Chain A
Amino acid sequence: MTNTAMTPEISLSPSRRVWRRFRQNRRGYWSLFIFVGLFVLSLGAELISNDRPLVARYNGQLMFPLVTDYAETAFGGEFDSPADYLDPFIQSQFDKPGNWAIYPINRYRFDTLNYFAKAPNPAPPTGDNWLGTDDRGRDVVARLLYGFRVSILFGLALTITGVMLGVLTGAVQGYFAGKTDLLFQRFMEIWGSMPELYLLIIFASIFEPSILLLLVLLSLFGWMGLSDYVRADFLRNRNLDYVQAARAMGLSNWQIIWRHVLPNSLTPVVTFLPFRMSAAILALTSLDFLGLGVPPSTPSLGELLAQGKNNLDAWWIALSTFAVLTITLLLLTNIGDALRNSLDVRRKS
């Protein structure tokens, strides 16, 4: 017997080898790195861009305005309403000896209205508002940061539900084949011929528009593309001998699906992941742009784009939103390309 493989080196699992090939693609690797960095950064948006101090000391007392709402009276004001930290009066209170406040880098939240702004809205970029304000006087940087977070989270949620539904339905059709497959395919043909956009418009007028509603509606139709790919892979893999061998071993159907067929049918799922994600982000953006998306108060890239379109002279709105969107989608596409290449087994690592 030829024992060329006697050395007890640690073997790389197929997924580890994919990761190694992925890392060799510099562009994809750095895109992933930057994307994850931006995402983590945006998760902490409240710490970066907020209209309240992170920590403050007032009259010998340590205060945390970030987590607690303080009334204006707490800082020597006259009203019992929540303190507006952009108010020159309150700021002057913190300038008194012994008092201090640590502010976030950007001193606006996505919905902060600066009642003390000097320029009319929309205001061009200044030292206070780095990318200017929108037509309601809200800071564009803050809206972009929070809007980016909403987009990515929405994209992730839609991708995850879509992938889970797609894999589940594809697996059931492909593994059980026969009548199950036939009936499910006909169902998908009917379901797929429903006019998605009309449904969205109708539902947007019946229900209060919310992110959850959008997520549910888009998920209802988003799984079908993937389902077909997974089904095809399952149909191919279910007839391979290793599945027969597992059956001979006495494994149950779900055990076979989970342990044997699924891991070998995941290539289309992983390949499409970044592309699905960018499609989801784009879907949310376009719905917001058309006014069918998230409720008005939510920070959203699509809503910013619509504002840019309505205020063409306020170039900072459209341009900066466009840049954020382009960079996000470009990063995702780069990641997707690298993933696709690294999953291609014909390529040598």
Chain B
Amino acid sequence: MSLLQVEHLTVRFGSTTVVDDVSFTIAPGEKFALVGESGSGKTVSALSMMRLLPDADISGKILFEDQEILKKSDAALRQLRGKDIAMIFQEPMTALNPLFTIGNQIAEVLMLHEGLSARAAALRAVDLLAKTGIPEPARRALSYPHQLSGGQRQRAMIAMALACKPKLLIADEPTTALDVTIQVQILELLNQLQREEQMSVLMITHDLNLVKSFADRVGVMQHGRLIETADTDTLFSAPREAYTQRLLASHAKRMVGDVASDARPLLKAEGVRCSFAIPQGWFRQKEFVAVDQLDVSLAQGETLGIVGESGSGKSTLGMALLRLSVARTQGDIVFNGQPISAMEAGQLRPLRAQMQVVFQDPFASLSPRRTIEQIVGEGLALHKPDLSEAQLREAVGAGLQEVGLSPTMMSRYPHEFSGGQRQRIAIARALVLKPALILLDEPTSSLDVSVQYQVLELLAGLQQKYGMAYLFISHDLAVIRAMAHRVIVMKDGKVVESGMSGDVLTSPQHPYTQRLLAAANFSTH
């Protein structure tokens, strides 16, 4: 008998069909994963199982323990939510109420569904927190969400979800917002709790890696349809659908060519130190050192990968090397033979064309009120003021073509493009200036896997064509392995390990790098 049975589920918002005829079952105690890229309808499917979509037009059948969920009254449904079906969300910071302590929030569920007294509920809340492995659970129960780290918050969310021993736990991208090493801890926790409680888990994710080590069965979604469902082993060894094969294949292979042996050094930085002043009270300040005494060197046409978890100072370092950081920066930086660390903003301006940046979020990095032509052409107009309007247009068109976009799109605005296309536009903006160095700050992390792969290929191709050097910042070791010649691994503002990327990523010396590698589930195939 199955715990959850979904038959011909179709969800529409107005005239757009988001989920199209999806059917699957989950047995008691089974871990089922729905995998798909953004917009494939996986989250909407999960939310409709709790009927949490007020505006949606849902048809089909959802049977939970042989009860029809779609036909239940709202009151009956509330009994089910939180008690029999619980949910954890991607971003625990927004899913937890910032004005209540987490102990309070867990106790609320217990009082509501199990009728416990406030005292008993508070004690159970501490027990539950202890179970999720939060250190000092009695003290943490009195903390507010913002006082906890991301991992701890997610543990608190899990404690809340497990409070009433649900039969089905829906986990919507539970680890996406977390660092790799913490991702693994959370997954292990979920695994262990699932075994202890014998509950079923519906995991929703875009990350195939995650699924491989966790789920019993996997369903792959594309454009709102469930195109393939199979046991995890079967799916990974013999994917049936072309789309699944493409998803599996989009694990980055090594894409970069070799650096020319006579490449001249382009960027050399010594003793770079970046610090922020944190106000303490009215007049005192505390210094927070984000980057501590780092040496960086980069040759023409070379890619240096900068790896680290969030808060390790890798972005601050990247921005400091280009003299774009707002942090207090010390140290000597020499770019193309010129000491840029001592330059005034005005002196730096002509050099800006030589060093460009591509940011992580293509939705934030393009000004929404300017056309693509204006966005891409802005740098050219500034640095080559003698270009005529026609020449400028031509250069912009050529730049767009270079990144695989049609020049006919020039008069469009950013909102008319997909995430991958926007990232291409951002690359074109950097590229038209023919820079010697591009800082790539997590350029693919906000993109879907298959798009990620295309953007990486584009970047690798452009590097070979123009001999540009990349500073490639990423937390994703697979991406770094595909793109970087050399790697530095950062932790708490310091370099813990550096070397050729092949060496560092196959036989890491430092325990932190080893942990990162293990966490990233990085098989050296």
Tally A residues with Cβ within 8 Å of B.
28
Q: CB of B420 within 8 A of chain A? A: yes
Q: Given A5-B416, A11-B371, A13-B413, do A245 and B350 touch, yes or no (CB 8 Å)?
A: no
Decide if B245 is an interface residue (CB 8 Å cutoff).
no
B382 contacts across to A, CB distance below 8 A: 249-251
A259–B382 CA distance with the chains assembled, in angstroms: 13
- Find out whether the CB atom of B364 lies under 8 angstroms from the CB atom of A240: yes
Residues of chain B within 8 A of A263, CB atoms compared: 367, 369-370
Q: A5-B416, A11-B416 are in contact. Are A247 and B365 (CB under 8 A)?
A: no
Given contacts A248-B322, A260-B367, are A2 and B418 in contact (CB under 8 A)?
yes
The interface residues of chain A lying within 8 Å CB-to-CB of B366 are 242
A interface footprint on B401-434 (CB within 8 Å = 1, 0 otherwise): 0001010110111011110110000100100010
A98 partner residues in chain B, CB cutoff 8 A: none
Selected contact of A244 from candidates B324, B416, B429, CB within 8 Å: B324
Interface string of B347-384 (1 = CB under 8 A from A): 01111110111011100111111110000001100110
The residue that A1 contacts in the complex, of B324, B360, B369, B404, with Cβ under 8 A, is B404
Q: Which of B365, B379, B413, B415 contacts A250 (CB 8 A)?
A: B379
Report the bound CA distance from A13 to B429 in whole Å. Answer: 20
Residues of chain A within 8 A (CB-CB) of B319 are 244
CA distance A112 to B370 in the complex (A): 54
Q: Is B454 an interface residue when CB atoms closer than 8 A count as contact?
A: yes
Q: Is A8 an interface residue when CB atoms closer than 8 A count as contact? A: yes
B406 touches A3 (CB 8 A): yes
Distance between A283 CB and nearest chain B CB, rounded to angstroms: 32
A241 to B423, CA, bound (A): 12
Q: B348 near A1 (CB under 8 angstroms)?
A: no
- The answer for the CA separation of A8 and B439 in the assembled complex, in Å, is 32
Residues of chain B within 8 A (CB-CB) of A10 are 411
Bound Cα distance A1, B355 (Å): 27
Please tell me if the beta carbons of A245 and B426 are within 8 angstroms of each other in the complex: yes
Tell me whether B352 and A264 are in contact (CB under 8 A): no
Indicate whether A5 sits within 8 Å of B412 (C-beta atoms), given known contacts A14-B369, A248-B352.
yes
CB of B172, distance to nearest CB on chain A (Å): 23
Name the residue in A8, A15, A252 with the highest tally of chain B Cβ atoms < 10 Å from its Cβ: A8
Interface residues on B, range: 35 or more
Q: Quick check: B454 and A1 within 8 Å, CB to CB?
A: yes
Kindly provide the distance from the CB of A343 to the nearest chain B CB, expressed in whole angstroms.
12
CA gap between A8 and B366 in the complex, in Å = 21
A240 proximity list for chain B (CB < 8 A): 364-365
A41-72 to B contact mask, C-beta < 8 Å, 1/0: 00000000000000000000000000000000
Find chain A residues with CB under 8 A from B350 CB.
250
Interface 1/0s, chain A 204-240, versus B by CB < 8 A? Answer: 0000000000000000000000000000000000001
A241 to B366, CA, bound (A): 7
The chain A residue with its CB closest to the CB of B349 is: A250
Complexed CA–CA distance, A2 and B366 (Å): 20
In whole angstroms, how far apart are the Cα atoms of A247 and B355 in the complex? Answer: 11
Q: Is A246 interfacial (CB 8 A cutoff)?
A: yes
* Cα A179 to Cα B84 with chains together (Å): 54
Q: Is A6 an interface residue (CB 8 A)?
A: yes
**Could you tell me if A11 and B429 are in contact, using CB atoms closer than 8 angstroms?**
no
Chain B residues with Cβ below 8 Å from A3 are: 406
Question: Given contacts A241-B361, A242-B364, A244-B357, are A249 and B406 in contact (CB under 8 A)?
Answer: no
Complex CA distance for A21 and B48, rounded to whole angstroms:
32
Question: Are A249 and B408 touching (Cβ within 8 A)?
Answer: no
The one of A1, A242, A259, A264 in contact with B421, judged by C-beta atoms closer than 8 angstroms, is A1
Judging by beta carbons under 8 Å apart, are A249 and B352 in contact? Answer: yes
Nearest Cβ in chain B — how far from A135, in angstroms?
Answer: 54
CA distance A11 to B420 in the complex (A): 20
Contact residue among A248, A249, A264 (Cβ-Cβ distance under 8 Å from B368): A264
Cα–Cα, bound, A5→B408 (Å):
9
Determine the chain B residues whose CB is within 8 A of the CB of A2 once the complex forms: 418, 420-421
Across the interface, B364 reaches (CB within 8 A) one of A8, A241, A248, A259, namely: A241
Asked whether A5 lies within 8 Å of B409 as measured between CB atoms, the reply is yes
With A and B bound together, what is the CA distance between A210 and B205 in angstroms? 69
Of B319, B349, B367, B417, the most chain A CB neighbours within 10 A belong to B367
B368–A14 CB distance below 8 A: yes
- A55 CA / B254 CA spacing, docked (Å): 88
Question: What are the 3 tightest A-B residue pairs by CB atom distance, in nearest-first order?
Answer: A250-B352, A241-B365, A241-B359
9 A-B pairs, CB-CB below 8 angstroms? A1-B404, A5-B409, A6-B409, A241-B361, A245-B426, A249-B356, A252-B349, A263-B367, A264-B368
Known contacts A2-B418, A10-B411, A241-B365, then 7 further A-B pairs from the complex at CB < 8 Å, ordered by chain A residue:
A6-B406, A14-B413, A244-B359, A251-B378, A251-B382, A260-B370, A263-B369
